[in-house]
């Protein structure tokens, strides 16, 4: 585990200039415990089993952001033995498979659907809800399966809003993206297209002028990205977001509440102020889903509510994300507000639009 390491400071890579091609930066990513051992002087042995179980990839950009083992950047991307702890958590915590009419679609709300277009990400987040499938053949849908997904959306007039996700849609090359977007844009009942992508954080070089020109042809198109810590907001990421915003693409951010990374009001306020400054609107603060291998990131719901309460008065309402939990079973996201907290104890009672729900309130526990 990271706290135990007494590693010398890593050799810092120089930040990559945007002009280096994103494909070559991706190819230069770190993918083995041995590379981590060489850079940080740690023992690779305990990490081999973790890397054999869950995919490992850290881009040169992310690597350069690590200041020391165990810091908020490290915790998000470096494998940890805790991932193999027996936690009884489900692999498909949101029960996505039962909302999947065809393999590449998750259709849980009547008016919105997810289209899973890429099984890969630039970097693999250790807290990922889909960590049991991401980066493996289980999420690698063929072009034929994506085409079936598009056909399902075209045949379902209630869907107004499609969200491209995966994996990371922006790991597709421009031609493939153009093909998918062209076919979606031609569906008359689709009112908006959304893309969920972490590349502005992990591989900002992917946000080329050509990509922005391409995306701008498919308006109204929204992009939600995924910054979790203010130290991720560095010049190349600011340039990437600025380029997207200048192309007329509204930007939002979905943060995950992560123990040891951002479970602190001062960190969250700093993050959200920096997001607003680069025209990225904080959208959701997600309570961590219950996915196997992520229990070491868990924080109590009560902490998330404290953070939201602390933000009020210290940052514009524009900068306060909606705190949501996605309870297991797949009923959908439930917004959590401090004033809807009815009872605090080992169980939290929270008032929601669909009645009072009870959420366990302990660290490293379910929800």
Given 75, 126, 130, 298, the catalytic residue:
130
Say how far apart CA 223 and CA 221 lie, in whole Å. Answer: 7
CB nearer to ligand PLP: give 66 or 163.
163
Catalytic residue flag (residue 48)? no
Residue 124 touches ligand SF4, criterion: CB under 6 A? yes
Listed in sequence order, the DSSP H helices in 220-352 are: 235-246, 265-277, 301-311
Place of tokens 């909302």: 99
Q: What is each CA distance from 183 to 21, 179, 188, 254, in whole angstroms?
A: 27, 6, 11, 26
302: helix, coil or strand? helix
Burial class (CB in 10 A: 0-12, 13-18, 19+), 11: exposed
**Cβ proximity to ligand PLP, 163 vs 357, nearer residue:** 163
Q: Of 57, 80, 126, 128, which residue is the catalytic one?
A: 128
CB of 269 to ligand PLP, least distance (A): 23
Least separation, in Å, of the C-beta of 124 and ligand SF4? 5
Order of strands, edge to edge, in the sheet holding 105-109? 105-109, 112-118, 161-166, 192-196, 221-225, 251-256, 280-286, 322-325, 334-335
Whether 124 is catalytic is: no
Nearer to ligand SF4, 47 or 199 (CB): 199
Task: Choose the contact partner of 168 out of ligand PLP, ligand SF4, none; CB within 5 to 8 A by kind.
Answer: ligand SF4
Of 75, 107, 133, 198, the one binding ligand SF4 (CB under 6 A) is: 198
Does the annotation count 112 as an active-site position? yes
Give whichever of 236 and 291 is closer to ligand SF4, judged by the CB atom.
291
Q: How far apart are CA 147 and CA 24, in angstroms?
A: 29
Considering only 42, 66, 104, 134, the residue that binds ligand SF4 (CB under 6 A) is 134
What amino acid positions are annotated as catalytic residues?
108-109, 112, 121, 125, 128, 130, 289, 326, 333
Residues in contact with ligand PLP by CB under 6 A are 106, 108-109, 112, 114, 163, 333
């Amino acid at each position: 585990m990271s706290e135990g390491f007494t590693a010398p400071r890593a050799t810092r890579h120089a930040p990559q200039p945007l002009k280096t091609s994103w494909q070559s930066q991706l190819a230069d990513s770190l993918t083995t415990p041995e590379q981590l051992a060489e850079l940080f002087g740690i023992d690779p042995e305990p990490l081999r089993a973790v890397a054999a179980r869950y995919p490992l990839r850290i881009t040169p950009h992310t690597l350069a952001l690590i200041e020391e083992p165990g810091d908020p950047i490290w915790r998000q991307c470096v494998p940890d033995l805790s991932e193999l702890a027996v936690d009884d958590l489900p692999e498909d915590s949101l029960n996505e498979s039962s909302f999947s009419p065809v393999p590449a679609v998750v259709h849980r709300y009547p008016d919105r659907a997810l289209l899973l277009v890429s099984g890969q990400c630039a970097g693999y987040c250790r807290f990922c809800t889909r960590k049991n499938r991401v980066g493996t053949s289980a999420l690698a849908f063929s072009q034929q399966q994506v085409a079936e997904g598009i056909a399902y959306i075209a045949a379902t007039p209630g869907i107004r809003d499609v969200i491209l996700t995966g994996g990371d849609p922006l790991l597709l090359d421009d031609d493939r993206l153009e093909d998918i977007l062209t076919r979606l844009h031609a569906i008359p009942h689709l009112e908006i297209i959304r893309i969920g992508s972490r590349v502005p954080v992990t591989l900002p070089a992917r946000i080329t002028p050509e990509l922005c020109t391409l995306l701008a042809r498919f308006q109204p198109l929204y992009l939600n990205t995924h910054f979790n810590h203010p130290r991720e907001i560095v010049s190349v990421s600011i340039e990437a977001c600025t380029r997207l915003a200048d192309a007329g693409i509204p930007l939002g951010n979905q943060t995950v509440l992560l123990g040891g990374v951002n479970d602190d009001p001062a960190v969250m306020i700093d993050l959200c102020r920096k997001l607003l400054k680069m025209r990225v609107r904080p959208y959701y603060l997600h309570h961590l889903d219950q996915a196997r291998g992520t229990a070491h990131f868990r924080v109590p719901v009560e902490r998330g509510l404290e953070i939201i309460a602390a933000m009020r008065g210290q940052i514009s309402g524009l900068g306060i994300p909606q705190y949501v939990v996605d309870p297991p079973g797949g009923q959908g996201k439930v917004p959590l507000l401090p004033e809807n907290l009815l009872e605090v104890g080992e169980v939290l009672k929270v008032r929601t639009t669909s009645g009072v729900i009870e959420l366990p309130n302990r660290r490293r526990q379910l929800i």
